[in-house]
Amino acid sequence: MLDPKRLPVRLSELLGQSLPGPDAQLRMAPKGRGLPNDPPDHLAAVLIALIWQDETWHFPLIHRVEDGYAHGGQIGLPGGRKEAGESPEETALREAHEEVGLEPDRVTLLGRLSPLPVPVSQTRVMPIVGQINGYPEMVPDPKEVQSVFLVRVDDLLSEEHIHRETRTLKMGEFDIPYFLFNGFKVWGATAMILSEFRTALKQVV
């Protein structure tokens, strides 16, 4: 059995060799949804930040403010659109600092997951995985984030936190899978990113 504290090392090795890819992403996609091949209008990056607390691994999710944009009010990973000249890693670290006050120099980068096209915002998102050194104090920027909370990696791996419901969206009625963490429903692009992360974790734990 893997020593839990070695998880970041094993995960970094895996991310440098192979990725679960779109099949893993689509496990948490609305039924009938595929992955578009159209070139995106925008590029973005998000950060999955592993934090060791109470003898287990966690990662933060944010509850976005209702700002009228496509992902307003949703639960997501810290992140946002790429600025000119930035790498995806630089974007993810900058956005995590702006949104929750996470200091970039406290993050050890472990690798990337597969990019995910998000049609509703015409964006292609690159998920970046990192390890936080120590326990950070995270303070949400009230202009962007209502709150931030931690999710146990063990809960992400558990089938008990996966549910489904029918929702009516602009394109019609869909059967939508979602994770339920801390009373919040995590669906859409964030759930698809976490689905690939979950699959990667299962290969190393």
Per-residue DSSP letters for 135-156? Answer: -------TTTEEEEEEEEHHHH
Q: What is the pLDDT of residue 204?
A: 92
- Averaged pLDDT, 174-179: 91
Is the pLDDT confidence value at 70 over 60?
A: no
Q: What is the pLDDT of residue 205?
A: 86
Is the pLDDT confidence value at 67 over 90?
A: no
The predicted-structure confidence for 85-124, as pLDDT tens digits, reads as follows 999 999 999 999 999 999 999 999 999 999 999 888 888 9
- Indicate the pLDDT class of residue 14, thresholds 50, 70 and 90: very high
Orientation angle between helical segments 7-15 and 188-202, nearest 10 degrees: 110
Q: How far apart (Å, rounded) are the C-alpha atoms in residues 157 and 205? A: 10
- All domains in the chain, ordered by first residue: 4-202 (3.90.79.10)
- Averaged pLDDT, 150-163: 97
Q: How far apart (Å, rounded) are the C-alpha atoms in residues 196 and 23? A: 8
| List of E strands, 54-106 | 56-64, 75-76, 79-81
Is the pLDDT confidence value at 183 over 80?
A: yes
Q: How far apart (Å, rounded) are the C-alpha atoms in residues 91 and 44? A: 7
